[in-house]
Amino acid sequence: MNRLLFSLLLVVLLCSPLFAESASLSVRGQAHVEASPDRLELSLGVSTQGASSQEALARNSELVRAVEAALLEAGIDKGELKTGQFSIYPVWGKNRKSDREQPEGYRVHNSLALKTGKLALASRIIEVAARAGANEIGALRFSLEDEGRYRREVIALATVNARRDAETLAEAGGVTLVRLLSVQLDNASVMPFQPGMLRTTAMAMEAAPPITEGPVRLDAQVQLIFEIAPAARP
């Protein structure tokens, strides 16, 4: 089960101490939910350099194909991979004789964006990709396939918390809640678990790194405004 942690921030506003028709009570409620992730997202990049753009591109394409093949062999489906970013640009350096900038070669960068529900393969994915030639591994995060479900849950919890506090305040203050005048969603956010950026090379990778997923946190804050009236005397 998800662990539910609640924090409540309360603001009370009595617009009229004489309880005129415009008297109101404003309450802000907060809540957050922590959910177990069911999706892994990762960027696997290959950067190569060559004397010419054709040389750099040919080497890069060879390594990208090798990385993709290694991932498929490790258990990743082809539909879980797509091209992320691609760039090719000259590498500049100073000419020793003229002291002027001139192109010394070309660098090509290509990356694969991976999204999969196979969280148990996280360490294996990084290991095989690095060994196959991926030298820029990062943007690792654990997220939720159905964020909307948990977002609705945390918004509902924040609303319930706000209403309960409004009822408590009304009872303690000797007033009654007449009707709900306004409902406002101040904030609803999703924070995927991100272990941190990785930078590695095939030569540096001797074993699969330990990767442990953490919870995804969802927060919501709502504001309710009620019309109030003096409580009926017994």
Q: How far apart are CA 5 and CA 13, in angstroms?
A: 26
Q: What is the pLDDT of residue 187?
A: 87
Q: What is the pLDDT of residue 139?
A: 82
Domain parsing of the chain, residue ranges: 3-36+147-191+218-230, 39-143
- The amino acid sitting at 108 is V
Q: Which fold has domain 3-36+147-191+218-230?
A: Translation Initiation Factor IF3 (3.30.110)
Question: Which segments of the chain have a pLDDT < 50?
Answer: 1-20, 201-204
Q: What is the pLDDT of residue 22?
A: 64
Residue 180, SS3 per DSSP: strand
Q: What is the pLDDT of residue 172?
A: 92
CATH node for 39-143: 3.30.70.2970
pTM > 0.75: no
Q: How far apart are CA 215 and CA 198, in angstroms?
A: 19
H or E element in which residue 63 lies: helix 53-74
Residues in the chain: 234
H or E element in which residue 72 lies: helix 53-74
Q: Is 183 left (phi over 0), alpha (psi -120 to 50) or beta?
A: beta
- DSSP strands (E only) in the chain: 3-5, 24-35, 39-50, 81-94, 101-116, 136-143, 175-191, 216-230
The token duo for 133 is 């030639």
CB-based contact 193:13 (threshold 8 Å): no
pLDDT in tens, 8-36: 333 333 334 444 456 999 999 999 999 99
pLDDT in tens, 198-209: 555 444 455 667
> Which of 63, 103, 108, 110 shows the shortest CA–CA distance to 89?
108
The token duo for 29 is 């409620």
**CA angle, corner 59, sides to 58 and 65, nearest 5?**
90
Q: Please indicate whether the domains covering 3-36+147-191+218-230 and 39-143 agree at the CATH topology level.
A: no
Q: What is the pLDDT of residue 205?
A: 52
Q: How far apart are CA 46 and CA 85, in angstroms?
A: 10
The separation between the first and the last C-alpha atoms of the chain, rounded to the nearest angstrom, is 45
CB-based contact 130:61 (threshold 8 Å): no
Between helix 53-74 and helix 122-132 the angle, nearest 10°, is 150
> Which of 160, 141, 163 shows the shortest CA–CA distance to 152?
160
